[in-house]
Every structure is written in C-alpha cells, then in structure tokens.
Amino acid sequence: MKNNMKRRSFILIIFAALLFPLVFLSGCGEKTQHAHASDGMLYTCPMHPQILEDKPGTCPICKMDLVPFEKTADSEIKLTEQQQKLANIRTAVIGSEGFSASKQLNGRLAVNPEKTQYISARVPGRIEQLFVRQAGEKVSKGQPLYRIYSEQLASLQQEYLLAYEQAVQFPSDKTFKTLLEAAKQKLMLYGQTEQELAQLRKNKKTNPYTSYNSPAGGIAAEVSVTEGQYVSEGSPVMRIEDYSSLWVEADVYPAEAENIKDGQQVRVIIPGWENEPQSMKINFVTPALQSSSQTAQLRGTIQNRNNEWQPGLQANIILSKNTEETALSLPADAVIRDEKGAHVWIENASGKFEPRMVETGLESPGRVEIKSGLEKGDKVVISGAYLLYGEYVLKKGGEPVAGHVH
C-alpha cells in the first residue's frame, strides 16, 4: 500500500513539474500579446509606406528598420533637432516690405491691321496685266499693281467728253456745268486722276485700259486674281501688309487679368533680341474670355525698325508692379502648389510644424507675394518645405491640406 501511495505521489510531483512551465509560458504569452495589442502603434518602412506592422521590426523588402506610423487627425508633425538638420529645415520670421514683382506672359507678334491695305477692283472688267504676281513681293507706294480693261470705264469717259463739249458750247448754262461736274466725279471715284482727265479732254478719245497704283508700301501678303480673269466692281485683288509696326498679343488668365489695365506700360522682349527690349502700352484687353481656352487677350503695338521682325515670332511680355503699400513675400521654394491651391509650413513651437493655406499674388524671380493667409511675425519654413510635405504624407497617410478650405 505504502509503495503504491509513494508511486502516486511521485507521479503527481512529476506531472506538476511538467505542467507549471506550460502555465507560466502561457501566462507570459498572454501578457506579451496584451502588451502588443494595447500599444496601438503601427510601424512602416520609410522607403515602402505600403508596409504596415503592429510591432517593431525590419522591412521585408529592403530590410530597413521600421519607424512609427503616426496616423492621427493632428495636422502638426514633430521633428527632432537632428532630423531638422538632416532635412536642412530653415525658417524665417516674415515682415512687411516693399515688393517689386514681375510676371512674364508668352505672346506673339501679329500683323497690325491698321497698316494693312486691301486692294479691290475699282471698276468691273478683265485683268490685263499684273505687276505684282505673287505673295511676298515688296511693294512701293505709287507702284502700279494691275492693269484692267473695262468697257464701263470707257462708257463713263464718253459721258464725260459729251458733258465737256456741252459745257464748252454753252458756258453760261449751269445745267451743263452740273452735268460735267457729275461726270467728272464718277471718273474720279473709279480712280481716274486729274492728269488722266486732262489727257482725255486733249485727245477726245476714250481709253478702256487703265492702271491702278498702290496707295502704300509694304509686302504683298495675298494676290487674289490672275491675268485674264474677269472681276466685278469691289472684287478683292490683293492684300498689302506694312510691317513697320506690329501688334503684340498675349493670352491672359482671369487671375492675371485683374493686374492688367488699359494704358499700362510693359516691356516686350523678342527671343534673339534680348538686348533690345521694347516699351509698349497696352491699348486693349478683351472684355470676354475665349470659349476655347478660357483666357482673355491683351494687345499693344511696337515699332518694327528696319522690318527685322516678322509676324508669328514669339514675344515675351514683362508685367511689372511695385507695391506702394507694404507687402508680405516669401522665397518661391517656400510655397508648395498643387491642385488644391498653395500652402506653406509654419513652425508653431520648437520642432512642431503645420501647413497653412495661402493666397499668392504677383511673382518676381525667386520670390512670391503673399496676399492672405500669413501675418507679419509668422515663422515660415523657407528651406525644406517639400521634405516636410513628404514627411507629413508618410506619417499621416494623407495630404497636408486635404479638405481644408481657405
């Protein structure tokens, strides 16, 4: 009996000895699991943000150490002093100062319609000869352009000769004088000159052929007729363009148009002639937007000395504005722009940064005018703003100004 009891006691002791470690390990496992679950921290890879783990470790892709992933509603991000040095984060307290800004618009040179001559047929008839045959030919003022045969012109000349003979025979009759003056005016309207009328009175013979001269010099941009072609009165014959002055046109977005006024002086720079900037006065801004591009258009005129520029050349229009009042401005790299607008980063406390929406104005090389969103004395990040942007997206898992309306 005693031996049996001893054997049972030995077996219980051995069983307890084996069971205790299992209970201990189970308890430890529960505590560890509870610690991980209560931690609530997620960890991600700096190079692969799609990796999310509930405990520290290494990235399964690049083997880098995982870092805490702070997905909170707080818009601030915190950086240690060492992190700020590595990211080259620099701040500056902004103040009010006079701001001289310039804006460059991409424009183009165009033909000045005020210098364009449209030549049309003065009388109906047949084009006998063209003295300017093709586009591109240079035309001088007074140069013959075309010669025409017109039976209607010969009929008007005959009418004039008859009125002239009657006026000579009856010099005291006012009716014949009136008829002569009317016949003369008709011929003058058809382009006959005083010299040609004098020759007509001298020869007393009609001439159905007449030539028409150019009223201005320039370049033949278009020739609309050919020799032997019949034309009616008013039919287009050719177009002559004078390039001594040219239009400068540029498309302007609505946000830019508010800073442009009729009569404003601007500078125009033609690529290739950067050392010859031209002064121009804006004399027209379209009151309505173009439906295709949703832009307005400004226009001015520049002189084209020696005809060195041709219509169609690119032209850069420099709009300058000196603010009379004090203005806030920042380096261009401090402002981050996206489809939601523009924002900057403000340092609220040591190592704590948050984004803030701003409204920008004019720009000069390297600087941007801030119209609203900041106040004098704000501490703004002027270097490293894009790194803060990337750090925010990495830690918060969203855009810095998502859903924010300024």
Domain boundary among 193, 220, 237: 237
Is residue 402 in a domain?
A: no
Query: Are 395 and 348 in contact, with CB atoms under 8 Å apart?
Result: no
pLDDT in tens, 257-279: 777 888 888 899 999 888 888 99
Dist CA 251 CA 105 (whole Å): 8
Q: Are residues 382 and 274 in the same domain?
A: no
Is residue 307 in a domain?
A: yes
Is residue 289 in a domain?
A: yes
Is residue 182 in a domain?
A: yes
pLDDT in tens, 354-398: 888 998 877 776 778 888 888 888 899 988 888 888 777 766 656
Q: Are residues 275 and 300 in the same domain?
A: yes
Q: Are residues 225 and 313 in the same domain?
A: no
pLDDT value for 5? 42
Give the residue from 308, 300, 304 showing the smallest Cα distance to 280: 300
Is residue 194 in a domain?
A: yes
pLDDT in tens, 18-72: 433 333 333 334 333 333 433 567 777 766 766 778 888 998 988 888 877 655 4
Q: Are residues 125 and 184 in the same domain?
A: yes
Q: Are residues 150 and 46 in the same domain?
A: no
Is residue 88 in a domain?
A: yes
Q: Are residues 206 and 313 in the same domain?
A: no
Domain range holding 278?
Answer: 105-112+243-322
Kindly indicate the confidence band of residue 324, based on its pLDDT and cuts at 50, 70 and 90: very low
Amino acid identity for residue 21 in this structure:
P
Domain boundary among 237, 259, 276: 237
- Asked if residue 133 has pLDDT above 50, the reply is yes
| Average confidence score pLDDT of the chain | 81
Average pLDDT score over residue span 80-98: 79
Is residue 404 in a domain?
A: no
Q: Are residues 291 and 360 in the same domain?
A: no
Kindly indicate the confidence band of residue 326, based on its pLDDT and cuts at 50, 70 and 90: low
Q: Are residues 199 and 133 in the same domain?
A: yes
Q: Are residues 285 and 251 in the same domain?
A: yes
Token code pair at residue 33: 């699991």
Q: Are residues 180 and 250 in the same domain?
A: no
pLDDT value for 98? 56
Domain of 336, CATH number, reads 2.40.420.20
Average pLDDT score over residue span 185-190: 90
pLDDT value for 13? 41
Burial of 170-192, coded b for 16+ CB within 10 Å and e otherwise, reads eeeeeebeebbeebbeebeebbb
Q: Are residues 52 and 1 in the same domain?
A: no
Is residue 403 in a domain?
A: no
What count of other Cβ atoms lies within 10 Å of the Cβ of residue 314? 12
Q: Are residues 305 and 284 in the same domain?
A: yes
Our count of domains for the chain comes to 5
Domain boundary among 291, 322, 353: 322
